[in-house]
Structure 1
Amino acid sequence: MVAQDETVLGQLAEAMVDVSELLQEPAKLDETLELITRGTADTVPGILEVSISITRRDGTIDTLAPSGPLAVEADRLQYELHEGPCLDAALEEPVVIVNDLATDPRWPLFGPKAADLGIGSQVAFQFRAEPHVRGALNLYAGEPGSIDQDAIHLGSLFAAQTAVAMGWARQEQSLTEALATRNQIGQAVGLVMERYSLDADRAFAFLVRLSQTSNTKLREVAAALVDAANNNAKR
C-alpha cells in the first residue's frame, strides 16, 4: 500500500511540475489544459477520463481539453439535458460527488444515460479565475463508488491548477483559440473514424499514437488532417 501511495505521489509531482512550467507561458493555454486533464486521468486512481467545462458570457458552456471521447460525450449530454454534476459544479456547488450515477435521484435524465456509456461515478470541482472565468474540472470513473477521499484530494489540486491556468486567459481570444483546438481534434477523430472504420475511442487513440510517434503536438496533428481533408474536398 505504501509503495502504491508513493507511486501516485510521484506521478502527481511530475504532473504538477509539467503544468507549472507551462504556466510560465500564458500563450500556451490549450497545451496547459491538456496536461492538466491528462495528468488528472493518469494520476487519480479509478478515473477513466477528465474534461474541463467552461462558462461563457452568453450563458453557454463548452468543453475544453477532454482526455478522450467519453468525456466529450458525457459533457455533451449534460449540456443538452440541462442537468448533471458538471453543470452544478460550474454554476453553483464547489464540489459535486456522485457515487452511483445510475441511481442518483438528482439527475434522473443524465444518470442512466451516463451509466449506459460506462460511467459509474463522477466528481466535479468548481474553479474560478479572474476576471470572469468560471467552470468545472470533471472526473469520470467507470465503477460506482470509485470517488474516495484520495480522489477528491488529488482532484482538488488539479482543479486549483486549472484556475491558475485559466487566470492567464484574460482575453476572449485565448479561450477562442482553445475551443478551436478542441473542435479540430473532434473533426480529426471523425475523419479517422470514417477512413479506418474505427469507433471514437480507437480513433482518438490513433491520433494520440500518431502525435507521440511523430513528436508532434496533438492539436497540430489534428489540424494537418483537417486541412488535408479540406484541400481534397476542394479538388
Structure 2
Amino acid sequence: MGREDFQRRLAEAVRELHDQVDPPHTLQRMVEITPEFFDSCDFVGVSLIEPDRIRTPAATNELLRQLDDSQFELEQGPCYEAIRNDPVVIIGDLATDSRWPIWGRAMVLELGVRASLSFRLFTRHDRSWGALNLYSRTPHAFSEVDVQHGQVVAAMCAVALAKAINDHQLATALESRTVIGQAMGMLMERYGLDEHAAFAAMRRISSQDNRKLRDLAAQIVSDRDTPIAPAPDPA
C-alpha cells in the first residue's frame, strides 16, 4: 500500500472506529479493518488484558481466537511476548521458528499460518490494553514497511479501544448511579428512611445475598419490591 493510500485509509478508519457504539463493536471493526492496510494479512486477532487473565475476545474466526488464547495458557507466543516484553514481535516463518514450538506448530497445522506480526496496544507506556495480532499464510509476508504501518494502525486501534472502554465504563457508572438512586428513593418512601439508612439497607441486603449493589437496585426498581425488608437504622 502506497503512502497516499495508507493515509487516506487511515483517516477513514479513524472515523469508522470512532463511530462504534461500544467495546465489542470497536473490537470487531478493528479485526475487519486491519487487513486492509497490508498486502498479505489473512487473519487478525485482538487480545485484551483483564484483571485476572489475558484473552482474545475478537478474531477473524473462532479457531484463531482459541489458538490466540492458548498463548496465555502456554505462556508462549508472539502476542504474549508483545504484551509482556517487546512491543513489536515479528515471525518470518512459524514452520522454522524455534521460540514457541507448541503454539507455532498448532498455528501451522490448524490454520496454515506461517508468518505473524504482533503489536502491543497502549496509550501510555505504563498502560497497555492488550495486543493486535496479524497472521499470514505466506512465509516472510510482512516487510519493514508493514511493521511501520502496523505501529501506526496499532496506535490508532489502542486510542479507539481506550475511548470505547472508558466511554462504556462511564455510561455504566452513570446508569448504575441512576438505578441505585431510584431504588433508594423507593425505599425511602416505602419505609420512611432517610438517604443514609436507605443506602445502608441496600448494602446489607447486597452483602447477605452476595449480589452486586447495582443488580439489587435494578431488581427493586423492576419488581417495585425489596427482597428483604430493611432493618431499622440504629440510633
Same fold (TM over 0.5): yes
Deviation at 1:92, TM superposition (A): 1.5
What are the Cα deviations for residues 89-123 of structure 1, in whole angstroms up to 9, with x where unaligned? 01221111111112212112111111112010111
5+ residue gaps, structure 1: 177-235
Q: Deviating runs (4+, > 6 A) in structure 1?
A: none
Deviation at 1:173, TM superposition (A): 4.6
Which residue of the partner structure matches residue 37 of structure 1?
31
Deviation at 1:25, TM superposition (A): 5.1
Q: Which has the higher contact order (CA 8 A, sep 6+)?
A: 1
Which residue of the partner structure matches residue 135 of structure 1?
130
Deviation at 1:46, TM superposition (A): 1.1
> 2 CA distance for matches of 1:108 and 1:165?
33
Letter in 1 for 2:141: S
So what's the TM-score if we normalise by structure 1? 0.62
Name which of 114, 117, 123 aligns with 2:117.
123
Name which of 2, 8, 14 aligns with 1:20.
14
Which residue of the partner structure matches residue 144 of structure 2?
149
Which residue of the partner structure matches residue 223 of structure 2?
none
Do the aligned residues in 2 keep the contact of 1:55 with 1:134 (CA within 8 Å)?
yes
Which residue of the partner structure matches residue 56 of structure 1?
50
Letter in 2 for 1:74: L
> 1 CA distance for matches of 2:168 and 2:102?
33
Letter in 1 for 2:74: L
- Pick closer, same or farther for the CA change 1:170–1:72 going to 2, 3 Å: same
5+ residue gaps, structure 2: 173-235
Letter in 2 for 1:89: A
1:98 matches 2:91? yes
- Pick closer, same or farther for the CA change 1:73–1:45 going to 2, 3 Å: farther
Which residue of the partner structure matches residue 166 of structure 2?
170
What are the Cα deviations for residues 3-25 of structure 1, in whole angstroms up to 9, with x where unaligned? xx44x853x44542343224545
> 1 CA distance for matches of 2:17 and 2:157?
10
Q: Report the RMSD for the aligned CA atoms in angstroms.
A: 2.7
> 1 CA distance for matches of 2:168 and 2:128?
10
Letter in 1 for 2:94: L
Which residue of the partner structure matches residue 204 of structure 1?
none
Q: How many residue pairs were aligned?
A: 168
1:79 matches 2:42? no
- Pick closer, same or farther for the CA change 1:9–1:40 going to 2, 3 Å: farther
> 2 CA distance for matches of 1:101 and 1:116?
10
Q: Could you tell which deviates more after superposition, 137-146 or 161-170?
A: 161-170
What are the Cα deviations for residues 158-192 of structure 1, in whole angstroms up to 9, with x where unaligned? 10112101221237858x9xxxxxxxxxxxxxxxx
